Structure 1
Amino acid sequence: MTTPATHAAPFGRALCAMITPFTASGALDPDAAARHAATLAADGCDGLVLSGTTGESPTTTDTEKTALLRAVRATVGDAVPIVAGVGGPDTRQAIALARQAERAGVDGLLVVTPYYSKPPQAAVEAYFRSIADATGLPVMLYDIPGRTGTRIEPETLLRLAEHPRIVAVKDCAYDLPGSAKTIGATSLAYYSGCEELNLPLYAVGAVGYVSTVANVAPRQLRAVLDAFDAGDTAEAARLNRLTIPLTELMMASGLPGTVTAKALLDAGPVREPLQPAGRAAADGLRKAYEELREASE
């Protein structure tokens, strides 16, 4: 049992939305980023998404973003696709970041819906087309209305799917029926951006996921897809259930995934306005993480 042949996975199936490690003083730590990327690739991540929300892109400079991309590319080589987050509220800045990422040697662009200004759908479509036209790289649209305040409506997605370089969607719309319809009506490669929907979306034709939790549990998340692809849906469901307690604590406890992931990793501080996890939250995360490791061995 596999994903539909018409929906190729342009960046792999199991992608990690990678954290951006910092030193104790808060500076970018490219060496730590390279080590973390190498570990993720060795533990089953097909691709890496850098400078996304989990990568603290709003608080890293353009220079830091390029240094991060180059450090990770130098470590993982060409075998692991790298997707760079470049979207934002300013189309001109997003285009500049896209071109900068292309020069740094990435394989694709993750472009989030413009946030705060809440543009109408015609403006959203024009924004995505402008960025897709600015480089020769394939584009993954990032639909996360809970953060941006604006959804990429299904009708807009149908039109954008006609663009030759718009090839994928990171789906955080929490609309499984709507996503299934778009998957069926287009060749867009859908990636779950919400761990609790990884398996349900995969079952209706998504090609994989882009996961924050994969920073700490890459093998366990990938095992769910592997079991499904092997035709053992019961095992896929069982393995998926094992991941739920950690996923809930990391993604639905009131703390951003960046904060919870860094609480479990030796990756330095988060940048303000984010604050580190408190002692009780960190202890709970570690307990859930150890229980998942024990249950999946």
Structure 2
Amino acid sequence: MTSAVPAAPFGRVLTAMATAFHADGALDLEGTQAIARHLVANGNDGLVVSGTTGESPTTTPAEDGEILAAVRDAVGPDVALVAGVGTNDTRTSVTLAEQAAKQGADGVLLVTPYYSKPGQRGITQHFRTVVDAAGLPVMLYDVPGRTGSQIALETYAEVASWEPVVAVKDAVGDLARGVRIRDLGLAVYSGDDELNLGWLAHGAVGFVSVVGHAAGNELRALVDAHDAGDTAGALTIFTRMLPAIDAVMGVANYGATTAKAALELLGVLDNRNVRSPLVPLDDEEVAALRAGLEESGLIP
């Protein structure tokens, strides 16, 4: 075990960014670039592309390549880009990982295979195969609420010994468990906006956020206050963010839907199009989202 806090390999404030679509469902690369530029201008030093919030279950490998290339063009070489490559088919994940490496990603986000629900041996085999194919630093993604599987501590202990595996986006919500993962030498990123402050207190290096679409500067201020030892200030910032967090994360089909509606309210996008099976927020849901963002001071 190590008592040293791991470095933040992909930055401190990352948003799992949405992917823009036209009304007919086609990729809107210009809109996607606008999202990326907005995020970098507002507190983010890294971006996760083609994750769940990017609606990766509905995009093809070719589209994922187009998205990554467009985002890189939009933000330049100095912003860390982490490409989502996790699927429930190892061969497809290998293809995505190889593509991400060729197109200049700084790392890959690798979720446990969903729906198939493999055991720990299957998860480990999947990880090993994709890690070897990527040739890039890897952030694992542990989100049993979406995948039906959780990475066991014993599996973490094994994969933490693989040099490319440097971080985990944790959406399990067990802070004490996160300390144990951190002590294996992995950088822990909060994958639950409502636990962001708690994760910092438990040794996380930063966030992979959804509310960051609207609150990147506030997330940056939260990290800065925590780093400065200003616990009261950090709590004040987090408390002020809570209405927005509740509004973004409190809708049944939250994620891409609330992120895009927030971007529409902010004027970054002129629509809130999503791909089926998601459906855009209705007017009542948008009104509730607006109220939460207003209460947190994120929109006038």
Matched, 1:33 2:32: yes
Equivalent residues in 2 for 1:86-125 (5 A)?
86-125=85-124
> What residue is the counterpart of 1:159 in the other structure?
158
The aligned length equals 292
State the 1:181 CA deviation: 1.6
CA distance in 1, matches of 2:108, 2:216: 22
CA distance in 2, matches of 1:252, 1:223: 23
CA distance in 2, matches of 1:264, 1:277: 10
SS in 2 for 1:157: helix
The question of whether the paired residues in 1 share the 8 Å contact of 2:169 and 2:189 is answered with yes
The question of whether the paired residues in 1 share the 8 Å contact of 2:136 and 2:164 is answered with yes
Matched, 1:138 2:137: yes
CA distance in 2, matches of 1:84, 1:26: 21
CA distance in 2, matches of 1:75, 1:275: 27
Deviates more, 1:40-49 or 1:254-263: 254-263
SS in 2 for 1:293: coil
CA distance in 2, matches of 1:221, 1:9: 15
Matched, 1:272 2:282: no
Deviates more, 1:48-57 or 1:132-141: 132-141
State the 1:255 CA deviation: 2.4
> What residue is the counterpart of 2:197 in the other structure?
199
State the 1:24 CA deviation: 2.5
State the 1:253 CA deviation: 2.8
> What residue is the counterpart of 2:233 in the other structure?
235
Q: TM-score, normalised by structure 1?
A: 0.95
Amino acid of the structure 2 residue aligned with 1:29: D
**Structure 2: gaps of 5 or more residues:** none
CA distance in 2, matches of 1:93, 1:285: 36
CA distance in 1, matches of 2:110, 2:181: 18
Amino acid of the structure 2 residue aligned with 1:145: P
Matched, 1:253 2:257: no
Q: TM-score, normalised by structure 2?
A: 0.94
CA distance in 2, matches of 1:117, 1:71: 32
RMSD (CA atoms): 1.5
State the 1:197 CA deviation: 1.2
Which structure 1 residue ranges, 4+ long, deviate > 2 Å from structure 2?
none
- Percent identity over the alignment? 49
> What residue is the counterpart of 1:282 in the other structure?
286
